Structure formats: structure tokens, C-alpha cells
Chains A and B, each alone.
Chain A
């Protein structure tokens, strides 16, 4: 069970949070103009990396804010948490 640093509240236990899957998947600006393939990718396709994964979490039993987490899928180490709208940190893994 992780300890997660909410960017708004600080370190809290994982039981206060919910994970919502991969982050940085922007909704297409004009959905009507994107191809079926592109729309399908937005809806259904997600990465499954061995390494750093960028994912969305909410602090449900706290401030109820959404934020992003950079977590290593092998060690489960969370190396960074950052607010929505902030740019995606680099993947500096080898």
C-alpha cells in the first residue's frame, strides 16, 4: 500500500485515493473530425510500460482533486506527483 503525496494536501495513505488509469490522453478538440481509428485509440488504447507510468489519481477522501502520478511499474516507486495542467515530467529511465 503506497504513500502518495497529494500536490494539494501532502502525504497520505493510498486508501484515500483512487487510480484512474493512464494520464496525458487528451480528448480530441474536435471529435467529429477525427477518424474512427483516432477516436478508437482515444477510447480504448493504453500503454502498458515496464518502467515509468504516468497516471491519474484522485484524492477522494481528502480534497477530491485530480492530479497526475509518475510511478515505476516494477518497483511501484512514485517518483513525482504533479497538478493537472502541469507538463509531463521526462522519462529518464534507461
Chain B
């Protein structure tokens, strides 16, 4: 196997297990334990993709989740994932990855022409260029969208399974570096229930890669021993490959666990990813810090990498990404990387912006023959697809200009280190407040929220020993806060890093051979191609607020959310505005911390589990009899029952005629039903409904209208007095829950002294509505109870045995026909339904669905709340003054009937419409105008709320809300249709059939 850059030994990879994978079609090999990035670097592949805007060649910048450049399209077909970070993809056999944002290939990309024209593509280019004319935007957008964008979203349904898990603990530690582990061990030994999450496969953080020592042990050994102890403790949960993505109120944290992403043949019982929803009493943030790039001309080429990343590739993966290395730095810490690379056999040259370094470091460099350039800066880089040389020049003492001649140095790997930025994203999401620390030239946590700790580099503490002692204390206090106080001995004696962290000023940008202000290539945000020049431009054009600069230049707005770029952008703004970085401020950090899959957020709540489905006791019969279903709220209701390939219209015609001529049956079980009991029930109903309830006799039913306090109708239904203090209320199917809450609201918050109890009984009763002239004959054959018109008149209820089952028979009608609504305890619902269907055969009983129900009620002019009303109609607007009590002192909504808005002229009123051509069924929602023009706009005077062909009458009917409709009977109105036709209709009463109600009263 050929891994040109693989060292002969070292790293935590398994050299006995070769892994084959493909990148851009090329067959390559790596070892078990590699990431895609480390394997590519081992194969000396640096060119990974093209940048977003200028299509510049880009390589691998980091070794972690902050990676802005090395994004790939992972896998193909339905499993493909765009924008996957090569630095985080664990290598597995057969992995397929391709470069993004390039065509025809990453090496020869036509879009790279943008790079040549970059002088005319500055920040805000699209806003300025494609603004006018506004109507052209859609046209421009098509091309802009094509040119921009990163990977491609999968076009097929993802076959993977995702899960969610809820978790509760005492102390959650985010980040499994040494500080996190110390805090975890302290809390765990104290007895607290502890959760540790870390985004890497191997827990331990950056010290896994260094020669740091803790208590005389190398950090790697100490980490291993500590993890062994933690794993053995029952009160500790350790999750690797798990990234905390969101930090919400009250220590609610979401975390994404990659369960089988990295496996070739995963256990089918395991999900691909698991989304954790964690509530922890105390949270310790120990996420560490990101190394900050330096901003210099041409700093974005493949082969330019963070120094710390090179450290990780060398020590963890045994990969030396270059042999002739240059290191550009402003701090001591990066020298450890140079020495390490030197030790592994690379030739190293250091360019340091500072004037000098300590004698110790000087001596080390001399001993190891490392060439150093102090007070020098890189002025440009060379190489088209990978860096191959740099030029350096000496800086003047004030660093504002160059002195001396530029020197060109050949190199195949340029490392940079500009200091460290604490990973404060999650802390900031939690509403913790940041301050700018001059000491480390970055933002650090300042004001913490309750029950929260921030430790280690995450808190801007870079002294290893001191930070470990603080982490120990944090672990102990967090455990104490949750009541776990087993005494724990302090277990950190000593801790040292060979090259301690030294502080250096943040360098906003490094002077280049061209002025930085215009068109230079000092990149800040690698993923969104934002340069220092763009920041200058934004300031010149007045976008000086940090939020404006962000949006105008798009810095920090890519999928990496500016993890490597934000502080540098702020430093440049501070430099231009000549005020401290702390005063420039920072933008808001929002979840997710890293991109997360929608699959994980949705979990198992997909397809049929997306929303609960409610089915009646008769559901299977409906299926067996060919019903076409309709969703009403969460209910599945039969819409119509087509026979012999009937169309919907044909089926509805047949069902309507049957219900009017013989007998029809409807499953009305979904109707909302509320059982109301208590001595104050009548008084309560008087306040809830607009009409009077006190005198309703036992066994009598009454229709009622409910209004909200604005005086607008919000539900209707029939309520029946079952006994002295017992009522049975019905509501609309969709409004049942709303009405129940409404009743409870007033009982619990306004009328606390009322003795009334409301219970939802919707599911407890199956309701069979049988209607039509033959319905009494049918029902008589199933019960011994006397149900003649005298014994059970219209709007009465009787308890009776039907087919031997205790039932309630309500003589109410929503169709205008003689009708019985039979309520059966649901467990017997299907039994009785079957008996009724059997007995009904001789009457040609016809099941009908909601569409027929709607047509039948419209013929009678009955409204459907929510269809004919929209929350802005009073009872009077609906011609229902008859149901509003004039005598009652008070009821909900009454006072608002006297509001200026409800008494004004020209409100919309409910009317009936007859279509003049006697054949057009107007689409519901159509607008009514008095005067028609060829084209909109036209002055609207109303809209159609219900519209059907009436099989009973043989012509179309409609209901509408029409301005001043009450006084417009006989007028002709116009309805312009979408197809350009103009329909004429005549305003009439909204009751079209059997106005006197002979049929229902029969």
C-alpha cells in the first residue's frame, strides 16, 4: 500500500487493517482508525474541493468539527450526505466521497473563472447587481443558485433510521478533554449521576497528541486510566462520537450521537444517529478552544493548515502532511508542532511575527537546526492547486510597513497559528455573557447562567495545572449542588505542558504585497470566501454594526458558523473603527453548534408516526366498503363511498338522493362530546351559549352557539339535558378540544365557585346518524321502545335498548330529514352498526360520507363553523339573531355585540346564492364583486364559503359572506373565476330546501 506521507510508526491507527475507499473515483487506502482527512493526507492528497464563491482550490485546514474547507459529498444515491467534513468522517471499507462545488472536476473547474473576476465580485455584489428590475429577480436567482451552494441534497428518501433519547442527570460534562475528565471524575466520585459527551471517537481531547504530563504520567496514559475508572462507575455515562448541538433554557441540551455512521454493515437494530435530549441539573462546559488562523495574502490554498491540526495528524494518525514545512506564528505554542515535525524528519522553517522568543526556545531551535525568521511576515503564497512557495519580508518595528527585500522560500506545507479562541458557542447559546480578554485576544465567558461552569481552555485558562485544579473544584461543586457530597480527595498533584501557552497580540491581518483594503486575498471566512478587503468595504459602505457586517459580507454565516473566522473579522473591524474588539461586540451564536441531520431531529416521528391518527369504532367497515377517507383534524372520516368506479360527484349524488328518499347512514362518532355535570351546570351553559338554557326540560335537546369575548362565533352544537344536573354537549369535530379548553378556562380561572365538571366523552360514544323518510321504520325494527313522533318528537332524547345494547337516541337532524342520532358505548359500536346495516338492506340503506353530509346541510342552509365562518362573524352576521337571548344579563361575547365594530353598517352577512346559469359550481373561496374589470384589482364585496351541486334541487347552490348581504336579497352579484369567466348569481335566503322544516319534524 502506498501512503506517501505515512510515518513508519506512531499514531492510534490499526496498521494491520487496511481500509479501501474512493475519492473522486480514485481507489485509495488508509488504515482502520483514520479519518477521511488523515487518509487523504497520507496519500498526499491536499486538494479536496472548491470554494463557495470564487471556486478557489481548497484543502484541509483543521482536524476537527470547525473545518471550513474540506467538505465532501459522502456516499451516493439515497444515502448521500452533502457538506460532510472530511476531518470528522471515520474511514470505513468502501467509503465513497467526492469533491463538491466544482465542474467538470475539482482539478479543472469552470467556476474558477469567478476567481479571475473577483475584483468585480466583492461583498454585496449580488445585492447591488441583481436588484433591478425587481421582476427579474426570479430569473437571476435561477442562475445564482446554480453557481452558489455546496453539496447536493439527496433526491431520494433516506432509508436510515434515527432515534431520539431523553436523558436526565445531575452533572453533564460537554467535552472529554483532560479538564472535562477531571471534572467528571470529581463529580462521579462525589456520587452524582454524570454524563460526559465528546465529539471524537477517542475521548481525551488535544492532550492525546502532546507530551504533556499529569501526575508524573504522560497525558495519554492518565487519560486511559481515568477513562477506565469512569467506565467502571455505574453512575457515569460516557458518550463518544456525540456532539452537543444546542444549549437551551434551564440546562436543556441536545446532542447528536453518531451511532453507526462509520460502520460498513451496521447492526440493523441500531439507528444511524441518535438525538439526545438531555436535562442536566448542573452543566460543565469543557469544550476547549479552536486555533485561530492568521490573515495573510493567499492564506487559503491547499497545503496551508493550522499548526495544531498538523500536530494531530502526526501524533494520532502517523501522517506527516509535508516534508518541507514552514510555520507562520505569533505565539510559542506552535513551536511544539515545529519541533515535533522536525523530529519526525521534516525540514522546518519558522516565520514569527514577533521580535524575539525566549532563550529556551531559541536554544531548542538551534539544537534542532530549525531556521527562524523573526519580525517577518508572509507576503504572498505561490502554487495553483497546492502551495509550493511563499515569500517573506521583514516588518518594520511598528509592523506597519516592510523593510528589506522579500525572500522566496520553497515549501510543501505551510502551518499557521494565530493563538486560540475558546469554543464559546454553546455557552453563548445558553445566554451566558462574553467579554473580550486582552490577555488571550479572544472572547471568554464572563457572566454565567445558573447551574453552569466553564473550565479549561473553554474558559480561556491555558495554564494546565491551574485549569485542572479549577476543573476539579467545578466537578465537586456541581455534585454538591445536586446533593452528592461523598468526600473526594484532590487528585491533581502536578501537570505540565512542555511548551506552555504564551500570549500574543491578535494580529488583525498581515500586510501583503498588495494593499489589503482592495481586492487582496487575505481570507477570513474560508467557507464563504470572505476576505479582509470585504470587511473594509462593508465599513466604507456604512455596515459598521457587527450584525450588519456579518450579513453584508456573509462572514460567519456558512455551515461552520465562523468557528475559525469570527474573531479575526472582529479584530479587523476593531482595527478599522479604531476601538477595542470588546466594543465592536460579537454576533449571536445560535444552534446547532455543528450541522445536524433532519433525520435525527425527526427521529421516529415520520410517515404514519408523524401525527397521531384517530379512527372510529367503525373504521374497518369503512375500509371494507371502499370508503375514500378525508382528514378532519386528526380523524380519518369517510369522505364518500364510490361504487363501481363512480366519480366523487356521482357517488355524492347517489348518497344524497338515498338520504332524502329512503335512508342513509353516517358514522358521526367524531363529533365532539362533552359530559357536563354539577348543580351549576345550567347556570354555566347560560354563560357559555348565547341562548337560554335554564328552562330546558329533561330529555330535551337544544342547538347552541358559542361566541368568544369578541362576540365572534367559535363553535356550535346540540346540548341535551340528560337529568336535573347532567348535560350532554356536542361540538364540531375539529373544535372539540378547543371547546373543552374554553369551558375549563372559565371554570378554572373566572368562575371558581361554580360546581360544574366537564369530561370529554368523544371516544366513549359511537354515533350512528340514520336519516331519511324510512329511518323510523328501520329503527323500529331494532328497538322495542316507542319512537313515534308523539313519543320521541324532534329535538328530544330517549334512552333505549337497541339490539339489546343501552343507547341514547337523539332526534336531531343536520340534514333536514327525519333523523336519529344513536349513541352507543363505543365497544358495542361496530356490533350495532352491523345490525343496522343488515336491517337496513330492505330499505336500501346507503352509507354516506362527509361530502354528502355537507351537501345535505347546505341545502338546508345550516352553517359549518370554520367553513362558513372565519372567526370574524357574529351571530347577527349569520342571520342567527334568533338564537341570541335578549333577556339574559350576561353571556360570553354579549358585551361585544355593542362594540362599534360589531354594530357598524356594511359588515359581511351570510347569504344564499343561486347561480344564474343553473349549472356552474363556483369554487369555494371565490371572490364576489359588484363591478367586474378585465383584470384585478377589483373591489371585493364578499366571498363564497360553501358551494355544491344540489342533487335534490338539480342545480348549484352556494353560501357566501357578502357585504350588507341582509339587505341585498334579489341583487345580482358577479363572481370572476380564475379561468377568466365571469359568473352571475342572485342573492337569496340561505335555506334552499324545505324552509318550513316539515321533513325533520315529521
Contact = CB atoms under 8 A, between A and B. Distances in A.
Interface of A: 1-3, 13, 20, 26-28, 30-32, 34, 36, 39-40, 42-43, 56, 58, 64-66, 75-77, 84-85
B752 A43 contact: no
A16 to B, nearest CB: 13
B249 interface: yes
A40 to B, nearest CB: 8
Contact of B709 (A1, A13, A43): A43
B279 interface: yes
Contacts of B899: 36, 39-40
Contacts of A65: 748
A58 B900 contact: no
B744 A27 contact: no
B745 A84 contact: no
A52 to B, nearest CB: 17
Contacts of A39: 895-896, 899
A31 B890 contact: yes
A84 B752 contact: yes
Interface string B626-667: 000000000000000000000000000000000000000000
A79 to B, nearest CB: 12
B894 interface: yes
Contacts of B22: none
B218 interface: no
B250 A43 contact: no
A19 B910 CA distance: 34
Interface of B: 248-250, 252, 279, 431, 450, 709-710, 741, 744-745, 748-750, 752, 889-890, 894-896, 898-900
Nearest to A44: B710
Contacts of B895: 28, 31-32, 34, 39
Contact of A32 (B252, B752, B890): B890
B748 A20 contact: no
A55 to B, nearest CB: 12
Contacts of B709: 27, 42-43
A85 B745 contact: no
8 contacts: A2-B250, A3-B250, A20-B745, A27-B709, A27-B750, A43-B896, A56-B749, A84-B752
B171 to A, nearest CB: 16
Nearest to B751: A27
Contacts of B431: 75
Given A1-B249, A1-B252, A13-B279, 6 more contacts: A2-B250, A3-B252, A64-B744, A66-B744, A66-B748, A84-B749
Nearest to B752: A85
A83 B279 CA distance: 26
A74 to B, nearest CB: 9
A58 B741 contact: yes
Given A1-B250, A1-B252, A66 B749 contact: yes
The 8 closest A-B pairs by CB, nearest first: A31-B895, A66-B748, A1-B252, A3-B250, A1-B248, A27-B750, A66-B749, A76-B249
A27 B710 CA distance: 13
A85 B749 CA distance: 8
Contacts, number: 51
B276 to A, nearest CB: 14
A13 B166 CA distance: 11
A36 B249 contact: no
A34 to B, nearest CB: 7
A68 to B, nearest CB: 9
Contacts of A42: 709
A66 B752 CA distance: 11
Contacts of A30: 890
Nearest to B737: A60
A55 B906 CA distance: 38
Most chain A CB inside 10 Å of its own CB: which residue of B710, B741, B749:
B749
B973 to A, nearest CB: 33
Contacts of A31: 890, 894-895
A87 B749 CA distance: 13
The listed residue with most A CB atoms (<10 A of its CB), out of B248, B250, B752, B894, is B250
Contacts of A27: 709, 750
A76 B450 CA distance: 12
A3 B279 contact: yes
A15 B890 CA distance: 36
Nearest to A4: B250
Contacts of B741: 58
A1 B277 CA distance: 11
Contacts of A36: 898-900
A92 B556 CA distance: 41
B872 to A, nearest CB: 14
Given A39-B895, A66-B748, A84-B748, A32 B889 contact: yes
Contact of B894 (A32, A77, A84): A32
B428 to A, nearest CB: 15
Contacts of B752: 84-85
Contacts of A2: 249-250
A21 B250 CA distance: 21
Nearest to A1: B252
A21 to B, nearest CB: 11
B33 to A, nearest CB: 38
Nearest to A60: B741
A26 to B, nearest CB: 8
A63 B776 CA distance: 44
Question: Of A20, A28, A31, A56, which is in contact with the most chain B CB atoms at under 10 Å from its CB?
Answer: A31
Contacts of B900: 36
A81 to B, nearest CB: 14
Contacts of A76: 249
Nearest to B450: A77
Nearest to B750: A27
Nearest to B890: A31
A42 B748 CA distance: 18
A42 B750 CA distance: 13
A75 B709 CA distance: 33
Nearest to A28: B895
Contacts of B896: 39, 43
Nearest to A77: B450
B811 to A, nearest CB: 33
Nearest to A85: B752
Contacts of B745: 20, 66
A65 B758 CA distance: 13
A76 B890 CA distance: 38
A25 B966 CA distance: 37
B579 to A, nearest CB: 27
